[in-house]
């Protein structure tokens, strides 16, 4: 069950195995396994090539003309494709922009403005720091109160307990960055709507890893990053989704020229662009968008359902190896064992995780440490193989013994 | 005075002429002259090369480890160098982040928060749209009033007329995006401080073109873009300056993890990083920063004083050619004729400027049009030559006749 033969059998049966060749090879011979694609996905060969073309042919040769010829439409064009391929979002609702933090600020302010008279924002005390920090600062600036759900792995009942007629918005992560637990996006969204409030979903750890169905579930707002499972590159621009039923009314406070109805009209006052484009502020980051475009294109080719199926299989494989080799050494599994509730990584806990993580990285097992005692094993179905995972867990066993 | 021989003499005497070879050549044979570097500077060869290295060696080989090894410090490291080379800013006050719009939002909110009890924000009705739009939206969210200076080319007297004990902040552009008029940064800053208010300077059209002396003049806040005279690339990240005397108190509302004191500490509440780093929000855009780093390095090599001297000479040359060839055809000069008051471009007005701009661009004279009737001739000392400019003005004469 944990043999090398089994690993090879799984790799041989893997429909997505060939996608690994589409990535820039890891030339560092010290790397045993890259299991941190949920922090930074690996670069696609196509991204490197497209960057060269962009510099030489678009920026270098067409110069300023490239804005009208190609670049101005990219935030919406790539957003639409990302929506189609990964988010279950019809065109015109998703746009590539800024960082996740800035997108979250914009959507949270927009959500609050759509619920005047309500003065509470709900989030989870185990949510990612940026989310918690932004909920607190937006609440402070609006004179709102934060209502905390305690402890992560949020269920609809937890949300029900703290939402009511004063709730303006509920800000939650679809997949927990520590445990990988998948929240019930459908059930929670329904419940929040029943209470008259709006949802802001952080999809950082789900986009490109598990299918997200924003339209079908009537989600209001969502944000996410592109540098994890979409492999778009370090600090690549984020994305933001606003359901079309809010387009007539929604606004955001960072009213730069790119979100105005007539960007080059130099109008006297700000008139927001129709639809999702009003979510933009400054000049779109063209170089950063190359990686997003290529990452989304590769995902379209692979198909999110096949990606998800392999993520589940990789997760099971890590659990089998961990149960056999690591649990006897004092590790515990912090991620859900039920496939349907586990996202694209598996977190192992160990009392000495911080030191051990450093040792593992030094020995080429590239995982990441999350306080207080979690070792996250990131599983990127387009690049991670079963033999690679086995070698990594074997090395963990050796180094932790 | 306008002869080809004179142009060649000027090119031969140009100390910066050799820098042109450091840029990716314009391979499009249809381009007569690129005079829009004040909208989008041309790419450096080094930027293309460094992008390849970054993808292969840092992102591709070192993977996630590059964050700690190199990337996390880039916003401050490049900011410090930009401050030294172009802004007259001591280290620790300048940081590369976001877009100009987002940086302007942050600094304006920060400035307003430092002046509680004051409820007016001053700007110029001819300021760049993003600046006016953001002043209006920040004023609206804070319940402040906007006090308008009418009409561009702002003098200290104009500022004096609308500032007083209710003024929290004054938001102005150092160089006017239409006329290229240089504002008296020193005099206006002094006057604003005398009234107890704070300055937010938009340096988009001055950074990398004219020396800016932020520290010496006691400026409070400044922002600017890097894709014009710094040649950092389309949508490259912006920068933000906060004078160190405000560091103990200043804050900004987009409290993402990268601005927190301990980014990976996953703290319970947001504690701002000491100093300028608290101006950050999301994950820094690494690919976009490559162009900033290379653009600043090239400027350091050329020296801002030599760049400025050549910009002045190029401006005089455009004026001489325009007076001889274009004024007789109905053009007027909208930029200051006094060298010390004219920034890095020259704007020509013509009743038929919009149509004419399209014709010029079709014929390879890449200028830009700014409503209602301005043709901006952008002068980038590191790439623009005197013969190039002469050929362009000659073509304008021919096409406008």
Residues of chain B contacting residue A43, judged by C-beta atoms under 8 Å apart: 55-56, 59-60
Contact A97, A284 (CB under 8 A): yes
Number of compact structural domains in chain A: 2
Say if the Cβ atoms of A264 and B371 lie within 8 Å. yes
CB neighbour list of residue A62: distance below 8 Å, 6 or more residues apart:
A69, B28
Whichever domain contains A190, its CATH number is: 3.40.640.10
Q: Is there a domain that residue B171 lies in?
A: yes
**Which residue from B56, B65, B266 is facing A48, i.e. has the nearest CB?**
B56
Would an 8 Å CB–CB cutoff place B157 in contact with chain A? no
d(CA B397, CA A345): 65
Q: Is there a domain that residue B322 lies in?
A: yes
The active-site residue out of A19, A23, A105, A128 is A128
Res A334: pLDDT: 97
Res A151: pLDDT: 80
Closest chain B residue to the Cα of A25, Cα to Cα: B60
Contact A23, A45 (CB under 8 A): yes
Mutate one of B133, B227, B347 to test the A interface: name it (highest A CB count within 10 A).
Answer: B133
Mean pLDDT for A185-213 is 98
Q: Are residues B137 and B29 in the same domain?
A: no
- Shortest CA distance to A245 belongs to which of A268, A213, A221? A221
Would an 8 Å CB–CB cutoff place A151 in contact with chain B? no
Residues of chain A contacting residue B39, judged by C-beta atoms under 8 Å apart: 64
Would an 8 Å CB–CB cutoff place B101 in contact with chain A? yes
d(CA A254, CA A107): 11
Residues of chain A contacting residue B282, judged by C-beta atoms under 8 Å apart: 98-102, 130, 235, 238
Q: Are residues B287 and B349 in the same domain?
A: no
Q: Are residues A96 and A223 in the same domain?
A: yes
B202 is catalytic: yes
Structural domain span for residue A204:
72-301
pLDDT digits (tens, 9 = 90+) for B238-251: 999 999 999 999 99
Structure tokens belonging to residue A234? 């370090």
Mutate one of B29, B64, B177 to test the A interface: name it (highest A CB count within 10 A).
Answer: B64
Judged by CB atoms within 8 Å, which residues 343-362 of B form the interface with A? 361
Closest chain B residue to the Cα of A43, Cα to Cα: B60
d(CA A354, CA A32): 19
d(CA B288, CA B239): 12
- pLDDT grade, residue A319 (50/70/90)? very high
The active-site residue out of B19, B23, B34, B128 is B128
Contact B288, B235 (CB under 8 A): yes
Res B264: pLDDT: 87
Would an 8 Å CB–CB cutoff place A142 in contact with chain B? no
Mean pLDDT for A197-207 is 98
Mutate one of A25, A234, A269, A364 to test the B interface: name it (highest B CB count within 10 A).
Answer: A234
Say if the Cβ atoms of B270 and A133 lie within 8 Å. yes
CA angle B210, B215, B220 (to 5 degrees): 100
Please give, rounded to a whole number of angstroms, the shortest distance from the CA of B39 to a CA of chain A: 7
Contact B208, B83 (CB under 8 A): no
d(CA B201, CA B219): 8
**Which residue from B104, B281, B368 is facing A64, i.e. has the nearest CB?**
B368
Residues of chain B contacting residue A141, judged by C-beta atoms under 8 Å apart: 253
β-bridge pairing A145-149 and A94-97: unpaired
Would an 8 Å CB–CB cutoff place B286 in contact with chain A? yes
Say if the Cβ atoms of B39 and A64 lie within 8 Å. yes
* Residue B253: alpha-carbon gap to chain centroid: 24
Q: Is there a domain that residue B233 lies in?
A: yes
- CA distances (Å), B351 to each of A83, B334, B373, in order? 45, 13, 6
Q: Are residues B333 and B209 in the same domain?
A: no
- CA distances (Å), B196 to each of A26, A59, B166, B174, in order? 57, 44, 9, 20
The active-site residue out of B118, B310, B376, B390 is B376
Say if the Cβ atoms of B361 and A65 lie within 8 Å. yes
Res B361: pLDDT: 97
pLDDT exceeds cutoff 90 at A153: no
Would an 8 Å CB–CB cutoff place B42 in contact with chain A? yes
CA angle A282, A288, A289 (to 5 degrees): 85
Q: Are residues A354 and A210 in the same domain?
A: no
Give the number of beta-carbon pairs within 8 Å between A and B.
277
Would an 8 Å CB–CB cutoff place B223 in contact with chain A? no
Q: Is there a domain that residue B50 lies in?
A: no
Alpha helix segments (H runs only) across B114-258: 129-142, 156-162, 185-194
Q: Are residues B285 and B349 in the same domain?
A: no
d(CA B381, CA B312): 9
- Shortest CA distance to B160 belongs to which of B197, B108, B109, B202? B197
User: At which of A254, A283, A301 does a domain end?
Assistant: A301
d(CA A144, CA B90): 39
Whichever domain contains B25, its CATH number is: 3.90.1150.10
B128 is catalytic: yes
Q: Are residues A373 and A296 in the same domain?
A: no
**Average pLDDT of every residue of chain A:** 97
Q: Is there a domain that residue B312 lies in?
A: yes
Q: Is the ipTM of this complex over 0.85?
A: yes
Mean pLDDT for A236-260 is 97
Q: Are residues B291 and B313 in the same domain?
A: no
Res A383: pLDDT: 97
Q: Are residues A143 and A221 in the same domain?
A: yes
Closest chain B residue to the Cα of A178, Cα to Cα: B266
Would an 8 Å CB–CB cutoff place B53 in contact with chain A? no
User: At which of B301, B323, B357 does a domain end?
Assistant: B301
Contact B285, A225 (CB under 8 A): no
User: At which of A267, A301, A335 does a domain end?
Assistant: A301
Please give, rounded to a whole number of angstroms, the shortest distance from the CA of B154 to a CA of chain A: 18
Q: Is there a domain that residue B55 lies in?
A: no
Say if the Cβ atoms of A101 and B28 lie within 8 Å. no
pLDDT exceeds cutoff 90 at A15: yes
Q: Are residues A337 and A350 in the same domain?
A: yes
d(CA A101, CA A288): 16
Say if the Cβ atoms of B99 and A281 lie within 8 Å. yes
Residues of chain A contacting residue B137, judged by C-beta atoms under 8 Å apart: 253-255, 270
Res B246: pLDDT: 98
Judged by CB atoms within 8 Å, which residues 60-99 of A form the interface with B? 60-67, 71, 98-99
The one-character DSSP state at B43 is P
Please give, rounded to a whole number of angstroms, the shortest distance from the CA of B98 to a CA of chain A: 7
Low-confidence stretches of chain B (pLDDT beneath 50): none
B228 is catalytic: yes
Residue with tokens 């600062």: A137
Residues of chain B contacting residue A99, judged by C-beta atoms under 8 Å apart: 98, 256, 281-283, 285
Res A312: pLDDT: 98
Contact B336, B180 (CB under 8 A): yes
Q: Are residues B231 and B190 in the same domain?
A: yes
- pLDDT grade, residue A164 (50/70/90)? very high
Say if the Cβ atoms of B98 and A102 lie within 8 Å. yes
Mean pLDDT for A216-222 is 98
**Which residue from B34, B47, B234 is facing A286, i.e. has the nearest CB?**
B234
Residue with tokens 């509470």: A120
Q: Is there a domain that residue B67 lies in?
A: no
Alpha helix segments (H runs only) across B177-303: 185-194, 286-302
pLDDT digits (tens, 9 = 90+) for B11-39: 999 999 999 999 999 989 999 999 999 99
Q: Is there a domain that residue B294 lies in?
A: yes
d(CA B154, CA A112): 38
Strand partners, A369: A375
Using DSSP's 3-state secondary structure scheme, residue A172 falls into strand
Q: Are residues A27 and A111 in the same domain?
A: no
* Angle, in degrees to the nearest 10, between helices A304-321 and A4-13: 180
**Which residue from A56, A62, A285 is facing B285, i.e. has the nearest CB?**
A285
Residues of chain B contacting residue A52, judged by C-beta atoms under 8 Å apart: 48, 51-52
Contact B386, B5 (CB under 8 A): no
């Amino acid at each position: 069950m944990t043999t090398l033969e089994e690993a090879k059998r799984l790799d041989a049966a893997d429909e997505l195995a060939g996608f690994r060749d589409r990535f820039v090879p890891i030339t560092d011979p010290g790397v045993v396994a890259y299991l941190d694609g949920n922090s930074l996905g690996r670069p696609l060969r196509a991204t490197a090539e497209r960057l060269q073309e962009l510099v030489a042919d678009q920026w270098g040769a067409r110069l300023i003309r490239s804005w009208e010829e190609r670049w101005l439409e990219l935030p919406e064009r790539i957003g639409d494709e990302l929506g189609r391929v990964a988010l279950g979002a019809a065109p015109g609702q998703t746009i590539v922009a800024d960082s996740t933090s800035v997108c979250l600020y914009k959507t949270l302010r927009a959500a609050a403005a759509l619920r005047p008279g309500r003065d509470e924002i709900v989030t989870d005390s185990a949510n990612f720091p940026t989310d918690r920090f932004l909920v607190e600062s937006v609440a402070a600036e609006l004179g709102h109160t934060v209502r905390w759900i305690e402890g992560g792995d949020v269920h609809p009942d937890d949300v029900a307990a703290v939402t009511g007629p004063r709730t303006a918005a509920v800000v939650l992560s679809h997949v927990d960055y520590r445990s990988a637990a998948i929240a019930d996006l459908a059930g929670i969204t329904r419940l929040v709507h029943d209470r008259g409030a709006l949802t802001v979903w952080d999809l950082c750890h789900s986009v490109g890893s598990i299918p997200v169905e924003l339209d079908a579930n009537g989600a209001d707002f969502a944000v996410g990053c592109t540098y994890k499972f979409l492999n778009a590159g370090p600090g690549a621009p984020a994305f933001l989704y606003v359901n079309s039923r809010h387009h007539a009314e929604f606004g955001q406070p960072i009213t730069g020229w790119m979100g105005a109805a007539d960007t080059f009209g130099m109008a006297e006052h700000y008139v927001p662009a129709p639809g999702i484009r009003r979510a933009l502020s400054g000049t779109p980051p063209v170089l950063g968008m190359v990686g997003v475009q290529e990452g989304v294109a590769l995902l379209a080719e692979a198909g999110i359902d096949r990606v998800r199926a392999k993520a589940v299989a990789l997760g099971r494989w890590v659990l089998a190896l961990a149960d056999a080799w690591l649990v006897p050494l004092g590790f515990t599994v912090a991620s859900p064992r039920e496939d349907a509730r586990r996202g694209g990584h598996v977190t192992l806990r160990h009392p000495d995780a911080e030191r051990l993580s450093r040792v593992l990285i030094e020995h080429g097992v590239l995982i990441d440490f999350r306080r207080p005692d979690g070792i996250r094993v990131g599983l990127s179905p387009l690049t991670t193989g079963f033999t690679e995972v086995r070698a990594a867990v074997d090395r963990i066993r050796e180094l932790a013994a």
